[in-house]
Structure 1
Amino acid sequence: MGQNTTLAIILVVVGSFCYALSASFQHRAIKRKVHRNEEKRPLGFRAFLQTVTSRRWLAGAVLLGISAILQIIALSLAPVSVVQPVGLLAFPWSILIQARLHHQRIRRRVGLAVTLTVGATAAFTVQSALHAVPRSDLNGVRVAIGAAVVYLLTLAFGLLGAHGPKHWRCLLWSSGGAMLYGLEAALVKSLIDFIRKVNWMHSPLLWTILIALALGSLTAGWMIQQGFATGPSEIVVGSTTITSPVIAVTYGIAVLGEGRLLDVPAAVTMVLFAALAVTGVVVLTRLDKSWDERPVLR
Structure 2
Amino acid sequence: MIGQLEVVTLTPYQALGIPIALLGGVFLALGAQFQHRGVHKVEDRLGSGQKAGLSIAQVRALLMRPSWVVGTVMLGLAIVLQLVSLVFAPLIVVQPLGVIALVITAVVNARISRLKLDHKSIVAIALCVGGIGLFVTVAALTATERPITAGQLTTILAILAGVIVVYSIVFVVLRRRMRAVSYIIAAGVIYGFVATLAKVVLNRLVNGNFEGLTLFAVAILIGGTALGAYFVQNAYAVGSPDLVIAGLTVIDPMVAVAIGVIVLGEAATAPLWASALFVSAAVTAIIGVFRLAKHHPQTHR
Pair in the same fold by TM > 0.5: yes
The CA deviation at 1:246 is 1.6
TM-score scaled by length of structure 1: 0.87
How far apart, in 1, do the equivalents of 2:297 and 2:114 lie?
A: 16
1:117-266 correspondence runs (5 A): 117-133=128-144, 135-164=145-174, 166-198=176-208, 200=210, 203-266=211-274
How far apart, in 1, do the equivalents of 2:26 and 2:291 lie?
A: 20
How far apart, in 1, do the equivalents of 2:83 and 2:284 lie?
A: 27
Change (3 A) 1:175 1:199: closer
Q: Give the total of aligned pairs.
A: 289
The CA deviation at 1:266 is 1.0
- The letter of the residue matching 1:181 is Y
The CA deviation at 1:227 is 2.3
**Residues 49-98 of structure 1, C-alpha deviation per residue, up to 9 Å, x if partnerless?**
11122100011011101110110111011111111122233333322121
The CA deviation at 1:3 is 6.2
**Residues 231-263 of structure 1, C-alpha deviation per residue, up to 9 Å, x if partnerless?**
443443232222211210011112211121122
Change (3 A) 1:79 1:199: closer
**Residues 169-222 of structure 1, C-alpha deviation per residue, up to 9 Å, x if partnerless?**
43223322222211121111111211121253xx11221122122212222212
Where do 5+ consecutive residues of structure 1 fail to align? Answer: 294-298
- The letter of the residue matching 1:66 is L
| Match of residue 24 from structure 2 | 15
- The letter of the residue matching 1:117 is C
Root-mean-square deviation (CA), in Å?
2.3
How far apart, in 1, do the equivalents of 2:83 and 2:295 lie?
A: 32
| Mean Cα deviation higher: 158-167 or 217-226 | 158-167
Percent identity of equivalent pairs: 24
| Match of residue 57 from structure 1 | 68
How far apart, in 2, do the equivalents of 1:19 and 1:119 lie?
A: 19
Give yes or no for the alignment of 1:116 onto 2:124. Answer: no
TM-score scaled by length of structure 2: 0.86
How far apart, in 1, do the equivalents of 2:124 and 2:14 lie?
A: 26
Out of 272, 283, 286, which is 1:278 matched to?
286
- The letter of the residue matching 1:55 is P
How far apart, in 2, do the equivalents of 1:155 and 1:94 lie?
A: 31
Where do 5+ consecutive residues of structure 2 fail to align? Answer: 1-10
How far apart, in 2, do the equivalents of 1:165 and 1:259 lie?
A: 37
Change (3 A) 1:212 1:14: same
- The letter of the residue matching 2:218 is L
The CA deviation at 1:167 is 4.8
1:78-89 correspondence runs (5 A): 78-89=89-100
How far apart, in 2, do the equivalents of 1:86 and 1:33 lie?
A: 31
Give yes or no for the alignment of 1:26 onto 2:35. Answer: yes
